[in-house]
Structure 1
Amino acid sequence: MGREDAGGYVPAADGSPGRFQVVPAAYVLLRRGDEVLLQRRQNTGYMDGHWAAAAAGHVEQGESVLAAARREAREELGIEVATTDLEPLTVMHRTRPDGGPVEQRVDFFFRCRTWSGEPVIEEREKAADLRWFALSDLPGPLVPHEAVVLDALARGVVPPVTTYGFEAPEDT
């Protein structure tokens, strides 16, 4: 068994649906005063031409979300970030109903105000630009689910858990 079915579940040994699987990712929002560092995506096959977190990516097997955030900052921006400088911002559970199992995701967003080195584009094939923007004057287009977090950050009210892509907001 151990294989994912079309519904996103990994079947249990007895043939029952088992547990639902999600794809985890880490996002590092570098902050400088009221500014955030964003990159413009290119040649990735996902949201190319959109502005996005300067450092973000999937958590690899056997890697913690904190290690993934630090690795992405190093790989994409050439900077070193200490685990203690990664401030949890929000966790987003998101989906795309037509996207199948690979579109069932959990995204961990971190704010980071301290790092070592100067951020630069390290993966030129994946990023066309890298710039600081005031939260009150963000560029467009933004990756839609990231825009939700950036908008909340600009308003100064970021909930600890957010959802995206579900039919209706959850009742509180």
Structure 2
Amino acid sequence: MAARIQIAVAVLVRDGLVLLVHRHPSRRWYPNAWSFSAGGHVDPGESPHQAVSRECLEELGIQVHDPLPIPMTVTDPTLDVRAFLLTHWDGEPVNAAPEEHDDLRWFRPTDLADLNLAHPESLPTLLSAIQKGAH
């Protein structure tokens, strides 16, 4: 069995809202679905913590502080996803990767269940972590 692909994902929370990005319809994996903020492959020699910081800078144009590891359930057996709750950063998140995302928006956590999410199975554990970490 091949090694699972390591992915690091950022869950940005501000003023009770969660930032999601809409994956471009031309994306190979999970096209036309909403996903939690910045995220991507963990490069060789890079920790998930370093990867999430790099991805936030590349995809959102922000410098993050104190990413907090949180549980994330993903049923795709090819992925090893590490999620990080982010409540402090420098800069205003923008779509710095339009080839990957065609939209980004702030949502109330109660609205997330109505969206076409890339990993809907992750929603209960992420909402619980968001609720605990945002206080």
* Band the TM-score falls in, shorter-chain normalisation: 0.7 to 0.9
Pairing partner for 2:109 from 135, 149, 160? 135
Counterpart position of 1:76:
59
The residue identity in structure 2 corresponding to 1:37 is: L
SS in 1 for 2:9: strand
Q: How does 1:11-160 map to 2 (within 5 A)?
A: 21-42=3-24, 43-82=26-65, 85-90=66-71, 92=73, 94-96=75-77, 103=78, 105-138=79-112, 139-143=114-118, 145=119, 147-154=120-127, 156=128
Kindly tell me the number of residue pairs found equivalent between the two proteins: 128
Q: More helix by proportion, 1 or 2? A: 2
TM-score by length of 1: 0.68
**Long gaps (5+) in structure 2:** 131-135
TM-score by length of 2: 0.85
- Structure with higher Rg: it is 1
Counterpart position of 1:169:
none
**Long gaps (5+) in structure 1:** 1-6, 9-20, 97-102, 159-172
Higher relative contact order at CA 8 Å, sep ≥6: structure 1 or structure 2? Answer: 2
Counterpart position of 2:133:
none
Whether the 8 Å CA contact 2:8–2:83 is kept in 1: the answer is: yes
Whether the 8 Å CA contact 1:41–1:50 is kept in 2: the answer is: yes
